[in-house]
Structure 1
Amino acid sequence: MKRSRQTFEEIAASLRVLEVDWMEDPHAGKVITMLKSLPVGRKITGNDVIKILETDFRAASTVLRLFLGMAKDEYDRDIPALFEGTGAGKVTKFKQDPKAFVAAFAKLDLLKKINAEVTRPLEWSDRLVGLFEGGWGSARKGQLRGRMLEDFVEDILLKIFSKDQIIPRCQFLGASGLSSEKADFAIPSAEDAHILIEVKAFNATGSKQTDVLGDIYRIVEQRRDDTAFILVTDGISWKARQNDLRKIIKLQNEGRIRKIYTMAMADQLEADLRSLAEGIV
């Protein structure tokens, strides 16, 4: 081979758009065939779901994920949390008891979503909407979950404190007097926070989950010891990251987090905030 000296312009001129047909992938073909094999003219039943899972568990799992509107990492993380014991939502668990396996999906309204989808009239725009949802929409869902949980907390705070005492998404002044750590809510001010509240809707994986733990640890380390630090979190995904949740609960047991709340604990959160409010002048 002859030696050569290439230039940017030479390489740039040779670049082209890499277009591929994702439907040529064997798995995609199986999923599409399976979708087309679903019965029409009647309601889809649990037995229909069992049948496709028996035919090809991997392809059927993708079909179920599509009907549930879940990204792959979201499905792989959250579905095992529906089950207990060997298999954790995988083929082993299905083979142990197919009916019980499919019944577990009732918590996510699977059959309702399937039947709503298969009876919905289609328009040409539906395919593009689906592509949009699979990309931007998947990421946006995580943001919306977080905002929903923040709104839940703020609604409770407004029952107890005046609006000017609720400082959202702020940098609070900590024990050193130099802290610039952030919290979702500081009360009654960021400069002299008696209460700090961090809100974590857990729906992330990997580095994002590391960020969740890191945010909590940093607040624990930076706050004054007499500042009540409250964590509000939710999401079935915690069941798939039990060790991480245990680490946070350990902080609560050590008194470094005053208390951990979920949306199901709304009454407790309101009552405890009212109690804490009595100590704020």
Structure 2
Amino acid sequence: MPVPTFEELLGTLRPMVPPADLLAESELQTTVREVSSELASLPEITVDALTEWVDARADAVRVLGLAVGLGQERLINWARHHFNTGGFGVLAREYSREVVELLEAEHNLTRAINQGRGVQYTYSDILVTRAATRSTAKRAASAGRGLEDLLEEIAVDLGLKYSTRGRFTGIAGRTAPYDLAIMDANGRPVVVVGAKAFDSTGSKLTDAVREVEEMAQTRLPTQFVYAAVDGIGWKGRQSDFRRLHALWAESRIDGVYSASTMPEFKDELVKACQRLGLLGA
């Protein structure tokens, strides 16, 4: 296919992070809601009462952590530090009193719960809490992997032997990274793809371009190199995206494709694999 203009290529980019459905209830949210309701209904909040409650409820440790402001990662690290385990079930079964007593000593557990049980929350309180959460970061972390999944699906659909996340050997024995590689009959990468999806900006986009440039500099004349990119983060780093476009325009790589142009990438991959003798005409 003809190389699109920079503006045309930029126009194919779409957000990779799915919008948050703030009204959807996950299994974890349902569990926390149920356990929190039990905690709110306890007749009294004392170390003894909480110990007895934790004994009967493995998920209680998670909720006690939330009550004093410890999210899952911080709570697990705290538990590993004190008890050499991050398993909430183990903590509830074997260390219920110790957990409650330490949370009380270090975080004023009973005071925090009693204060929380007596507060009526407003809509603004909910929005403030959302502003402090890291849910978007979690969804963003899966964005690049989602693009790799699309590439892998194409390889599977075409019946090609492939590898993910490795390094290939090219000119003068040099190596470079890839996110997906199509292998020849001897297990050598002959088509390599770098998958670079970002919805936020930053130096990581410059690093991503350097990786694709490294792939271009390393490949043999018989190897094909593609970049799969997406995400609106590139629109905030257009100088980096221009470098990617230039690699294609100067025939240093064989194409730059986004999620919306994956059908075109599949057609180009078929042609490349036919030339390599990996697919019939």
Q: State the TM-score, normalized to the length of structure 1.
A: 0.51
Distance 2:219 2:187 in 1: 11
Paired residue for 1:154? 152
Segments of 5+ residues of structure 2 without an aligned counterpart are 1-9, 11-17, 37-62, 72-128
- Whichever residue aligns with residue 197 of structure 1, its letter is V
Q: 2:179 aligns to what SS in structure 1?
A: strand
- 1:208 has 2:204 as partner: yes
Paired residue for 2:216? 220
- Whichever residue aligns with residue 172 of structure 1, its letter is F
Aligned partners of 2:205 and 2:234 also within 8 Å: no
Aligned partners of 1:198 and 1:232 also within 8 Å: yes
> What are the residue-to-residue correspondences of 1:52-71 with 2, within 5 Å?
none
Q: 2:216 aligns to what SS in structure 1?
A: helix
Q: Which moved more, 1:143-152 or 1:122-131?
A: 122-131
Distance 2:237 2:262 in 1: 23
Distance 2:182 2:197 in 1: 21
Query: Alpha carbons of 1:239 and 1:176: their partners in 2 closer, same or farther (altered >3 Å)?
Result: same
Q: 2:192 aligns to what SS in structure 1?
A: strand
- 1:255 has 2:251 as partner: yes
Paired residue for 1:186? 181
Q: 1:196: Cα distance to partner?
A: 0.9
- Whichever residue aligns with residue 149 of structure 2, its letter is D
Distance 2:229 2:263 in 1: 15
Q: 1:274: Cα distance to partner?
A: 1.3
Aligned partners of 1:194 and 1:226 also within 8 Å: yes
Aligned partners of 1:160 and 1:277 also within 8 Å: no
Q: Which has the higher contact order (CA 8 A, sep 6+)?
A: 2
Query: Alpha carbons of 1:109 and 1:132: their partners in 2 closer, same or farther (altered >3 Å)?
Result: closer
Q: 1:210: Cα distance to partner?
A: 2.2
- Whichever residue aligns with residue 167 of structure 1, its letter is S
Q: 1:218: Cα distance to partner?
A: 0.9
Paired residue for 2:231? 235
Distance 2:164 2:19 in 1: 34
Distance 2:194 2:19 in 1: 30
- Whichever residue aligns with residue 170 of structure 1, its letter is G
Segments of 5+ residues of structure 1 without an aligned counterpart are 1-80, 82-107
Query: Alpha carbons of 1:109 and 1:213: their partners in 2 closer, same or farther (altered >3 Å)?
Result: closer
Query: Alpha carbons of 1:270 and 1:194: their partners in 2 closer, same or farther (altered >3 Å)?
Result: same
Distance 2:182 2:223 in 1: 10
- 1:115-174: per-residue Cα shift (whole Å, max 9, x none)? x49xx9994568867689834x44433321111111111001111133xx2011111011
Distance 1:224 1:241 in 2: 29
Distance 1:133 1:255 in 2: 46
Query: Alpha carbons of 1:132 and 1:229: their partners in 2 closer, same or farther (altered >3 Å)?
Result: same
Q: State the TM-score, normalized to the length of structure 2.
A: 0.51
Query: Alpha carbons of 1:211 and 1:191: their partners in 2 closer, same or farther (altered >3 Å)?
Result: farther
Paired residue for 1:134? 133
Q: 1:109: Cα distance to partner?
A: 7.0
Structure 1 or 2, whichever has the larger Rg, is: 2
Q: 1:276: Cα distance to partner?
A: 1.4
Q: 1:258 aligns to what SS in structure 2?
A: coil
Distance 2:151 2:193 in 1: 9
